[in-house]
Chains A and B, each alone.
Chain A
Amino acid sequence: MAKITLHDLGHSYVANPKADADWALKPLDLDFADGGAYALLGPSGCGKTTLLNLISGLLTPSKGRIHFNDLDVTHKSPEDRNIAQVFQFPVIYDTMTVYNNLAFPLRNRGVAEATIDARVQEVASMLDLKPTLMKRASGLTADGKQKISLGRGLVRSDVNVIMFDEPLTVIDPHLKWELRYKLKELHQRTKRTMIYVTHDQTEALTFADQVVVMNDGQIVQIGTPVDLFERPRHTFVGHFIGSPGMNLLPCEVKDGKAVFAGGIVETANAAAYKGGAKSVQIGVRPEFVTFGANGVQVQVMKVADAGRFRIVTARAGEHHIKLLVPEGATVPTGNGHLQFDADRTRVYADGWLVGAEGAAS
């Protein structure tokens, strides 16, 4: 178990990086607390896999240092860092039985057979692999194989951190939730530090205590799932998280109030805006927009049924606004008025949240 500290860590796949774009991961500082469950969330190419491989030692950083507790591991190989990694597709040793797969890391380290047996049995029961222990690993289904991959990480008691690189990619959809649940359960039981990389917000938000949202090689926001949902610090987070994502509407700020489509919209932080930004926007999640007697004038364009609620797309001028209307409530046809929940409507300047929480991280 270890606390992981990243200091000014950056990586470029190019020999002599000059421009910003040359850096796959722009230099950053980040701490992972001992025993925490973290998710690195972001779209493809945002640098999350690079960051993961830097932590696990499969990549050596172009710049910066990594510490496990007080030990500088920046130039240490993966086996010296005592990490475990589960990959996108199951990586197992086909010719061995499930038992031998699980025992492999311990045998390589010269652990006594009796201890190996005890550990393997323990991990197998944790992962519901006991019935298949003596079967050939290649005969298992994809989720079984991923469990073996995971198991190889769990058998070792000296593992500092377990990393997951989009591990549910090849799992059948109806089994995904089962594995997600199992992972969460394992974390609570073993209290190991776990870092989970994914582009799927559901996986990230359900697994992690802390989510690190990344985009374009940078960290955009770190917070609990609730934080990210309710107080996104960047429009990217607002847009990426939630389905559908946050509404972003261009506005102006006059006399401390946000003005949109000719009318004043009450927000939580318009007063804090100091001016000088190239683009100013109002951000509000569809969950916090409702039809009312007065407010922004809109025309209802489309109503999509999503089960327990409906997603309504409305138009104000050339701007589209999405809102969620619960089952049973009426949706006006043609024209209507929208009200934004003032506490949850915020102003963003050049993408960043305006106000006490500040701009850049």
Chain B
Amino acid sequence: MRLKSLVPAIYILFLLLPIYWLVNMSFKTTNEILGSFTLWPRTFTFENYVKIFTDPTWYNGYLNSLKYVIANTILSVSVALPAAYAFSRYRFIGDKHLFFWLLSNRMAPAAVFALPFFQLYSAVGLFDTPWAVALAHTLFNVPLAVWILEGFMSGVPKELDETAYVDGYSFPGFFFKIFVPTIAAGIGVACFFCFMFSWVELLLAKTLTSVAAKPIAATMTKTASSSGYELGLLAAAGTLTIIPGAFVIYFVRNYIAKGFALGRV
């Protein structure tokens, strides 16, 4: 028994090591990083974080990223809800093909869309706005959201719908007052996965933005190439990007198992 619990412990230790190294560096000066090798900052400093919180080029990066991630999550889940309902309750011409086509987009390599998206979003005048990224990400997130929500909805028997109609609810009334609360866990899981994929995806985010809507990822690369290796700053920036993710997992920790249990990741 004892030996068994060692396995997850060692694994988690392995997972935390690079993160610890990153956080370690974020509290050091770049000179210390390049000049010596220490497991704990010799001169503990907040200067990297201060720079990020006070320099607009930096903190705007975070705000821009958050903007499109939140916009995308809300958009993806909202349009996915009625569609998932349709797939779960009804049969219609082309339903299976449509479902498959949606899923196939989740499997599309972002690299294939890099250049075409660049041209498309420039053509519609959305280049360098958070909307471009939010919309582009729906390519992957909407099918995912539909898939997850459909799974949860199929677990709710049709009798619930029918009872509501018998009780006199109109369709919107039934949908928002009864159905949505029933699948709240599913909506939570869908939001989690949409947030996750949008927050971490960066090829499209960088391709579709340049200055105004630049996400934090692009800002980080600039640091590495233009003014040499400002490692301390880079580390602090990186550490800060972990926080929203940690936050979100904490909130949905009870649903993680359930969401994966559907096997519909």
Direct touching of A and B (C-beta under 8 Å): no
Q: Which B positions have Cβ atoms within 8 angstroms of A?
A: none
A contact set with B: CB distance below 8 Å: none
